[in-house]
Structure 1
Amino acid sequence: MEHQETAAITSADITRTKKYSPSIRLWHWSNAVIITGSLLTVLVNSTVLKPWANARLISDKLKEKGINVSDDQTRSAAFVLSDKVWAIHTYLGYVLVALLVFRIVIELFGLADKTLIGKIKAAKRSFLSTKENRIANRNEMLIKMLYILFYILLILMAITGLALAFSDNIPALKQMHFIREVHEFTMYLVLGFIIIHIVGICIGERKRHKGIVSDMINGGWV
């Protein structure tokens, strides 16, 4: 009898699978770190290291010491600091592009039931085939589809970011001033998604999806 119970438990363990694969978890947390770092560089350059404000500050401080410099010299000094931060922003952008390619590879070659498209199809089947929990199944399907929008935004941000990074070497790109505007606008949309994502996680942890964060760390079980 004991042997049969042990065999049953072992059999049950074999059929259990992780909700999130190691590759998805690696991508998720790496992506979170890189996007956070990228947004921080934008925040720093638009506040603490804002070139025009710092140029006036440098000029005023030098005048207090009896040193007279031209506006061009103070602007150059202010932009040196800003440019260093933008350089970090660019390198983080390259990593973000690499992570995006990695995510696409996971989607194309991962297990069908673990891919985003596979999960959307599963949620759709549950919504259409069962009358129980229809609202929950519908919400699950909509949330998964919202992630598709997020990936589209990431792709758009990556493309425009690369265009800006190589604009000095490609004259045609330098003339397309709208690229910067699209890149900045997309960044705000991504930031909005992140806020919604965090709020959604907090709500889920308090209600019917407890353990979301821990599942993304250790993989969870289904």
Structure 2
Amino acid sequence: MENRNYSKVYRVMHWLIALSMLFLLLTVFLRLGWMNKVHIADIIKQYLATTNQTLSDEQLIVLAKQIRKPMWDWHIYIGYVLVGLYVIRLLLPFFGEMKFRNPFNKELPQKVKFQYIVYLLFYLCVALSLITGLVIELGPKEFKEPMEKIHILSIYYLLAFIAIHFAGVLMAEFTNQKGIISKIISGNK
């Protein structure tokens, strides 16, 4: 594997994309867990019972969705940021930065081919996530439901990529690319 130095542009883009994706993942986990509409509705229902007030289950869900809306708005805002970062990432090779590597080059070792194929699949999945997210927000209403079904699947590729990425970085750090973690943070070994 080549011993690469990472330019400032490369490092900034890497961390902006990584932090954006981690933030999006956090909003998804909050929505599925603590901020789940049914969970919030149940908390409201329990409180209202102590004050001898009631709302229908439908009203409780509407209220719960309104409570979590500001958090989910941030998912959408960061999604737009990620669209911009993705476009910049695609344009950077034309300016000599963050060049894409051909995973089908016959001269590459198998390990490197695998790494490049994983990145290619990752960027294709990110494109699909961004496109479906944009259609959900800006597209015709009749496309919203099918796009949401596809968009929700994003969590699976993202979690798989994070696991593979961390495993690969740790393997590289402790084998043939000592200092790779320092390089992606500071640019120096």
Q: 1:61 aligns with which of 38, 47, 63?
A: 47
Matched, 1:20 2:6: yes
Matched residue count: 187
Q: Measure, in 2, the Cα distance between the counterparts of 1:191 and 1:108.
A: 30
Structure 1 residue runs of 4+, over 4 Å off?
A: none
1:103 to 2:119 alignment? no
Unpaired runs of at least 5, structure 1:
1-16, 128-136
Q: Measure the CA separation in 2 of the matches of 1:184 and 1:69.
A: 30
Partner of 1:9: none
Inter-partner Cα distance in structure 2 for 1:82 and 1:189: 25
CA contact (8 A) 1:18 1:219 kept: no
Query: CA deviation digits over 1:180-215, x for unaligned, max 9?
Result: 111111231122111110111112211112111111
Show the counterpart of 1:143: 115
Structure 1 position 164, deviation (Å): 1.0
1:43 alignment partner in structure 2: 29
Which SS does the other structure have where 2:165 is aligned?
helix
The Cα shift of 1:150 comes to: 0.8
**Letter of the aligned partner of 2:33 in structure 1?**
T
Let me know the Cα RMSD of the aligned residues: 2.2
How far is 1:18 from its partner?
Answer: 6.4
Alpha-carbon offset, residue 220 of structure 1: 4.6
Q: Which has the larger radius of gyration?
A: 1
TM-score by length of 2: 0.88
Q: TM-score of the superposition, structure 1-length normalised? A: 0.76
Q: Percent identity?
A: 30
Instruction: Output one character per residue of 1:51-107: Cα deviation in whole Å (capped at 9) or x when no partner.
Output: 122212211221122223333332222111222221110001000100000100012
Question: Is residue 184 from structure 1 mapped to residue 152 from structure 2 by the alignment?
Answer: yes
Letter matched to residue 109 of structure 1: F
Q: Which amino acid aligns with 2:184?
A: M
Kept in 2: contact 1:160–1:179 (CA 8 A) = yes
Q: Return the alpha-carbon distance in structure 1 between the equivalents of residues 46 and 55 of structure 2.
A: 10
